[in-house]
Structure 1
Amino acid sequence: MTPEHHTPLDTPEAFRQRARYVVALVVVAVVGLFVLWTTRQVLLLVFLGAAIGVLFFHTSRWLAEHTGVPRGATLAAVVLTVLGVLGAAAVFGGPRLADEATALAERAPELLELARNRLGLPESALTLPEALGTVGGQLLGWFSTAAGVVSGVLVVLIVAVYTAAAPSQYTAAVTRLFDHEHQAFVRDVLAEMGSTLLAWLRGVGIAVALLGTMAAVGLSLIGVPGALALAAFAAALTVIPTFGPFIGWAPAVVVGFAEGTTMGLWTLGLAITAQQIEGSVITPKVQGSMVRVGPAFIVAGQIVLGSLAGFLGILLVVPVLGVGLILIQRLYIGPFVKGEPADPENPPRVSSPDGEVVRADHPAGSALTGRR
């Protein structure tokens, strides 16, 4: 007897359907990962725009509640005020800022050499690496050109305005992806994410404003050359957690020591004071417990997101990790580790000794789960 040979067409239809499903799932996963990889910076810009949209929404709603003006009008006022402040800062402070930054850049080698000699450091301690420009360009990524900066700002602003104008439209779109029983839980998780983003933005905004003002006034009183440019750099780097404040104040300290030991010590003291205020007062009091991300996770996140998305990844590491922490807490730690119901309004169902399925908050279910 000759052995019977089977072809793929001889396999059961159910098996072929499962095979097609698995292949389709793999293809979708590969395509999805490719799209995420190629658009990672755009997605982070959209994420930042949504976060700013949350701030715009809460601010405009607060104004509407306290003034009686329609929220559409207060939202327009908030957006125009922000644009007006930024525009006024660019018009009145931009030329001086550009002149001071250009002068400092031209004197950079001289200032570094003076500071190195005054501090008694070896020749290689304070130098400008030749690869700094290349590394900086790779780090900035999208924002390495003027066109990239303008387009990035436009993307963030458009997403922020649309998000603030009708946030319920987007939350409803997300909740409709889930069954009706869990939609309240999804809305609760989205609201918690919004609170986290609001706390982060509020903390960053206050830190940049206060520390920038403190740096500009302090450096001007000390007499450090290019005080406005140095203060703007220090304030801008404040938004980057962990390493940002140290990098931001480094140029001011170097310029201070280049001008004299006394001026350098005063500048160093100002930098230390500013960081103590930011770390001990501003961040804990303003952000509170909304953004509960440990320093080690922040550093690890900066390394990973920085390598994936450059400056945007480093900038947004805290809110991204904060949102991720909420998802882990509500979807895994709560229900699977602590035994808490994922949806407080719909507790999980358990089986009673007689085989009847009851809710966990039912007296029989409470006895089974040990909850009171």
Structure 2
Amino acid sequence: MTTIQAQKSFILMAMAVFLLMVSFYYLIHVWLIVFASILMAVFLLSLVEFLTKIPVLGRYARRLPHGVLLTLVVLFLLGIFVGFAATFGHELANQLEHLKQMIPQAFDYLHQYVQSYPMLYEWLQNQAWIERLRSDPQGFLAQFGEGAMTHLPTYLGGVISGIGTFVVIVILGLFLAISPAVYRRSFVAMIPKNSRNKAEYLLERSYRAMQQWLVGQLVVMGFVGVSTGVALWLMDIPFALALGFIAFLLDFVPVLGPWLSAVPIVLLTLIVAPDMLLWVVIMIVAVQQLESYVVAPIVQNRMVDLPPVALLLPQVVMGSITGFLGVALAAPMMVMIIVWVQVLYIKFTLGDYTVQILDQDEEQMKNDLYADFQGYQQKQTANNPAKNTPPQQTIKPNGDDA
């Protein structure tokens, strides 16, 4: 390539990056829908992959075309949805409607409940913000600006009323899952030939990381939703099904979601069974502790683990910019960003092939063409002298240029 051609390529690439960044700024909601569609496609493709790995059945499934397998997966999901709707749909809809009507009454009961504790009540009475919140709740929240706090009371309503956006996400995700190789080849074709192997590697690591995060998150969501609903039912708290369903949905948002789901549970308990409030709070805390210290470690091999700060900070930022959809997608976006930094910057720019990508375990690193597993083991031994693992055969990184 001549110098002039290289300059033209650089200018075109710079313009493309600039236009892409501008589109992120002005079309942030559109890009969030696109990312959610990619996440939906990852979910569908993961189910197709799981279908081919089922003992005995998987041997026959691998002989079927991809389109047939995807159709079977979609029909299976539709069957589950229809079965759930037929069994619990009417009761769930009624409970959600009654719950929506009862929640506002809970603030009056909360006021009466606090009055039973004179010291706490007197302290709250002396707080100016309490008086502003009681007299004008909407105006009180509005003082925090147009960010996530302003729209917090409408988040639940936004989830229910956002059916149109959800349908668009499902349709786009289905189209992406039908022909994933086409979009993959299109992305790789825009990369210089001597770096296309690395582009393929980046896409593979991104897909695996999002897949593992999604699988782990769905397992945790199922545990929280079922355990919350069953515990409330055993304590004779009404609307247990609706509250468990809300806990299941909001748990998709790590760190913040579980505690948001606790708000309607506590408020409803104040209305119907104030004497059970302490036990309900203990149940909520117990479920969260079981999630963090029992369920999550069990599924750790299938789950991408992120520290709370790496989850909460993006949620606050995305919530202040885009609202509920940004909060919901902040965690998987953070997973993808970390993988891209590890692959593009740490591996291919700095040349540190000992880094362990977010989705990988040690066994997977052994078969990674872009991983120095021996160097990784030496680093682990240096950081933890008690772990004296014998060195394994080094897998050299591919030598193509970045």
The Cα of 1:283 is off from its aligned counterpart by: 3.1
Which whole-Å deviations, capped at 9, do the CAs of 1:254-284 have from their partners, x for residues lacking one? 3224434441122112111111122223334
Q: Does the CA-based 8 Å contact 1:258-1:264 persist in structure 2?
A: no
| C-alpha distance in structure 1 between counterparts of 2:245 and 2:60, whole Å | 37
Which segments of 5 or more consecutive residues in structure 2 lack a partner in the other structure? 356-367, 373-395
Structure 1 letter corresponding to 2:280:
T
In structure 2, the CA distance between the partners of 1:274 and 1:287, relative to structure 1 (3 Å rule), is: same
* Matched residue, 2:204: 191
TM-score normalized with structure 1 length: 0.75
Which segments of 5 or more consecutive residues in structure 1 lack a partner in the other structure? 1-13, 348-360, 366-372
Q: Does the CA-based 8 Å contact 1:306-1:314 persist in structure 2?
A: yes
Query: May I ask how many residue pairs the two structures share in their alignment?
Result: 331
Which residue of 99, 124, 138 maps to 1:130?
A: 138
Deviates further, 200-209 or 333-342 = 333-342
The Cα of 1:302 is off from its aligned counterpart by: 1.1
Structure 2 letter corresponding to 1:298:
L
In structure 2, the CA distance between the partners of 1:138 and 1:27, relative to structure 1 (3 Å rule), is: farther
Deviates further, 89-98 or 74-83 = 89-98
The Cα of 1:67 is off from its aligned counterpart by: 4.7
* Matched residue, 2:183: 170
| C-alpha distance in structure 2 between counterparts of 1:114 and 1:138, whole Å | 18
The Cα of 1:328 is off from its aligned counterpart by: 0.9
* Matched residue, 1:3: none
SS at match of 1:130: helix
Note if 1:302 corresponds to 2:297.
no
Which residue of 35, 39, 63 maps to 2:23?
A: 35
Note if 1:279 corresponds to 2:292.
yes
Note if 1:50 corresponds to 2:42.
no
* Matched residue, 1:68: 60
Which whole-Å deviations, capped at 9, do the CAs of 1:105-130 have from their partners, x for residues lacking one? 33334323223433435464996923
Which whole-Å deviations, capped at 9, do the CAs of 1:135-191 have from their partners, x for residues lacking one? 338975995784xx2332222222222232222222221111223332222111111
| C-alpha distance in structure 2 between counterparts of 1:318 and 1:346, whole Å | 26
* Matched residue, 2:192: 179
The aligned runs of 1:129-148 (5 Å cut-off) are 129-130=137-138, 135-136=150-151, 143=158, 146=161
Q: Does the CA-based 8 Å contact 1:72-1:165 persist in structure 2?
A: yes
| C-alpha distance in structure 2 between counterparts of 1:167 and 1:208, whole Å | 27
| C-alpha distance in structure 2 between counterparts of 1:243 and 1:40, whole Å | 22
Note if 1:236 corresponds to 2:249.
yes
| C-alpha distance in structure 1 between counterparts of 2:351 and 2:255, whole Å | 31
Q: What CA RMSD, in Å, does the superposition of the two structures yield over aligned residues?
A: 3.7
Note if 1:313 corresponds to 2:326.
yes
SS at match of 1:68: helix
% identical equivalent positions: 23
| C-alpha distance in structure 2 between counterparts of 1:222 and 1:54, whole Å | 38
* Matched residue, 1:85: 80
| C-alpha distance in structure 2 between counterparts of 1:162 and 1:219, whole Å | 40
| C-alpha distance in structure 1 between counterparts of 2:288 and 2:187, whole Å | 40
SS at match of 2:23: helix
In structure 2, the CA distance between the partners of 1:163 and 1:281, relative to structure 1 (3 Å rule), is: farther
| C-alpha distance in structure 2 between counterparts of 1:195 and 1:28, whole Å | 27
The Cα of 1:49 is off from its aligned counterpart by: 1.8
In structure 2, the CA distance between the partners of 1:47 and 1:98, relative to structure 1 (3 Å rule), is: same
The Cα of 1:81 is off from its aligned counterpart by: 1.8
Which residue of 345, 370, 387 maps to 1:332?
A: 345
| C-alpha distance in structure 2 between counterparts of 1:77 and 1:344, whole Å | 34
| C-alpha distance in structure 1 between counterparts of 2:371 and 2:265, whole Å | 57
Structure 1 letter corresponding to 2:51:
L
| C-alpha distance in structure 2 between counterparts of 1:138 and 1:105, whole Å | 12
Deviates further, 209-218 or 133-142 = 133-142
In structure 2, the CA distance between the partners of 1:102 and 1:129, relative to structure 1 (3 Å rule), is: farther
The Cα of 1:91 is off from its aligned counterpart by: 4.3
TM-score normalized with structure 2 length: 0.70
* Matched residue, 1:94: 89
Which residue of 103, 106, 113 maps to 1:108?
A: 103
Deviates further, 281-290 or 123-132 = 123-132
In structure 2, the CA distance between the partners of 1:114 and 1:290, relative to structure 1 (3 Å rule), is: closer
Structure 2 letter corresponding to 1:281:
V
Bigger radius of gyration = 1
Q: Does the CA-based 8 Å contact 1:55-1:198 persist in structure 2?
A: yes
The Cα of 1:314 is off from its aligned counterpart by: 0.8
SS at match of 1:178: coil
Which residue of 213, 216, 219 maps to 2:229?
A: 216
